């Protein structure tokens, strides 16, 4: 739970945000120090300036600690993907919302009614225990009239060797004759979403299932 301490006292004007990064006892001591500072200010005590400088120094150190710990947390939340270039012109995937965009490393020629295999110019090793779904971007259909052959591609986490180049099988419907035949290198052609592999399943053969039948295939729709 985020606790925000707003200090606006004399020359102090700053915010300190904590997410369990500062021990509660440390925060209590800091608040006690501020109380002493306020009391000295009210009395116009000469020590007020000294306490104010001390509080400024503590705030600076606390903000530095929070920034460092925030960066460390972000690094801990980042997964490593090993990326091997097969085509030197390939670009690294770029994050775009929940997915990462994939780019064409070279021009692709496709005419209406054709199906083509498009190499993406790299092999990669996803983190252990992860795989990814590959989807077409909406702009790929709108700008280039391309569909992914299997609609939804699976990038299996075990596909991770030096020669395991990632690629797409795409087609352009025969009726889509007004689109450019050349799709240039560098085009954002598809995207992938990473996910953790599901757990293993243990299949057990039984004579009866635990729940009543719902009517069979196709019975729940119209």
CB 166 within 8 A of CB 120: yes
Q: Which two tokens stand for residue 216?
A: 């069979």
The stretch 171-198 carries a mean pLDDT of 94
Is 156 considered catalytic here?
A: yes
pTM of the model: 0.64
- Compute φ and ψ for 69, nearest 5 degrees: -70, -35
What pLDDT does residue 195 have?
Answer: 95
What pLDDT does residue 42 have?
Answer: 74
pLDDT digits (tens, 9 = 90+) for 9-61: 333 334 444 444 445 566 666 666 667 767 776 777 677 677 677 667 766 76
CA distance 50 to 31: 16
Q: How many of the other CB atoms lie within 10 Å of CB of 35?
A: 10
Beta-bridge partner residues of 85: 122
* Candidate list 87, 107, 156, 211, residue with the active-site label: 156
CB 66 within 8 A of CB 2: no
Q: Name the 3-class secondary structure at 130.
A: strand
For residue 131, give every residue at least 6 positions away whose Cβ sits within 8 Å of its Cβ, in sequence order, or none: 154, 155, 156, 157, 194, 195, 197
Beta strands in 57-103 (DSSP E): 82-85, 94-96, 99-103
Burial 207-218 (b: 16+ CB within 10 A, else e): eeeeeeeeeeee
Q: Per-residue pLDDT for 6 more than 50?
A: no
């Amino acid at each position: 739970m985020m606790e925000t301490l707003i200090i606006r006292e004399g020359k102090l004007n700053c915010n300190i945000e904590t997410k369990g990064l500062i021990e509660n006892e440390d925060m209590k001591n800091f608040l006690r120090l501020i109380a002493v500072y306020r009391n000295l200010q009210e009395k116009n005590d000469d020590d007020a300036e000294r306490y104010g400088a001390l509080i400024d120094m503590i705030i600076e150190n606390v903000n530095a600690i929070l920034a460092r710990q925030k960066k460390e947390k972000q690094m801990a939340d980042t997964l490593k993907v090993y990326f091997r270039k097969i085509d030197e012109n390939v670009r690294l995937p770029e994050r775009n919302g929940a997915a990462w965009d994939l780019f064409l490393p070279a021009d692709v020629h496709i005419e209406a009614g054709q199906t083509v295999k498009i190499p993406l110019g790299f092999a990669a090793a996803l983190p252990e225990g992860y795989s990814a779904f590959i989807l077409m971007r909406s702009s790929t259909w709108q700008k280039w009239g391309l569909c992914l052959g299997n609609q939804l591609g699976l990038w299996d986490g075990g596909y991770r060797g030096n020669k395991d180049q990632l690629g797409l099988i795409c087609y352009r419907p025969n009726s889509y004759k007004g689109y450019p035949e050349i799709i240039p290198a560098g085009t954002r052609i598809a995207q992938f979403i990473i996910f953790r592999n599901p757990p293993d399943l243990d299949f057990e053969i039984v004579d009866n299932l635990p729940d009543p039948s719902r009517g069979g295939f196709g019975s729940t729709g119209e």
